[in-house]
Structure 1
């Protein structure tokens, strides 16, 4: 279900990105006051979180493709801002790593112990975040598959409708041709009936004339016999 600014999943990615961006910034700032193995461990943790942030950005881009055009256009500016923030964090990490390689500290061993504890906690946190990210990626993939399935079903439905329309068009054309043929036959029958009616009228007139002539002849013969 779409939220006012986009989608709930997209906003969830935004919250995760903001949270991990704060964590990365804190680690990078903390590394400025550290040295030796402690600093290396902090920078390695920041590097892993940057990889996770990069993955979140990729998931956000995938989710952006599922949004309506209006929401997508509105969120693209925010996406560019997130990418710019991520790029700045990468550059800051590179500078910190370059500085870390050129320094050494005599308290490196103790720092390594404490850093190991931090690394274990960071690893668990990283694993949890990666699992959550994997679940979200699977959800996005499922939604894409559902969208693809709906598109295929819609295409098949459209093809079926077009086939039905084609059959109905052929039936209508056949019916129209049948009606035209019937109309032509009716016209022929009407002309035939009119001709027959005219012939019958003519025959009646001829018959009547013959009867009249015969009656006159009979009357004439009788008149001759009686008065001749």
Structure 2
């Protein structure tokens, strides 16, 4: 037979209180009074128990959902208290971990100081500082050189852009000249066409018949060749 939610809640709460008491004993007792590996062992055990307590609080949050609203108030208060106790000891565990780490670091530093017998420790520190300063100066010089190169590159880029802009203007001017030439050629073609049509009309007026046109053309060609032959004979016979 299933148990009522309140019974399960109280059972989980009892387990939680038992674990929290154990955590309190470890954190407020063993972890504070012991040192070294004993402290670390106590803190590890406390962490494991805190994880278990966290799981139980999650289970309490689940069980409280099944408790009737009429009696849920006191259980809600007890759940809040359990969560507050859990957060409290989680924070305490974290603080003790930090203290343990600081103690280990300070102890290691103290041991190094006690066992250090280097009479030139101060000198070595000065040399390291000088070396660091030199590295810093070298980095500054490299940065300045990089800045100078970037400025030169920017100047070259600006010069190239200016040249390209001039070439673009020349190309645009050439294109305008070509367009003008095209328009002039079109006008000349139109004018020549008009002249040809005018000549045809004139020939049609002067020589109304096609036969007469052909005779005139043939006669003109014949006269041209006769004159050409006479000129050739003149230069061959007379001027030789």
Could you say whether these structures have the same fold, taking a TM-score greater than 0.5 normalized by the shorter chain as the test?
A: no
TM-score if structure 2 supplies the norm length? 0.41
Instruction: Tell me: higher relative CO, structure 1 or 2? Use CA pairs within 8 A at least 6 residues apart.
Output: 1
The structure with the largest alpha-carbon Rg is 2
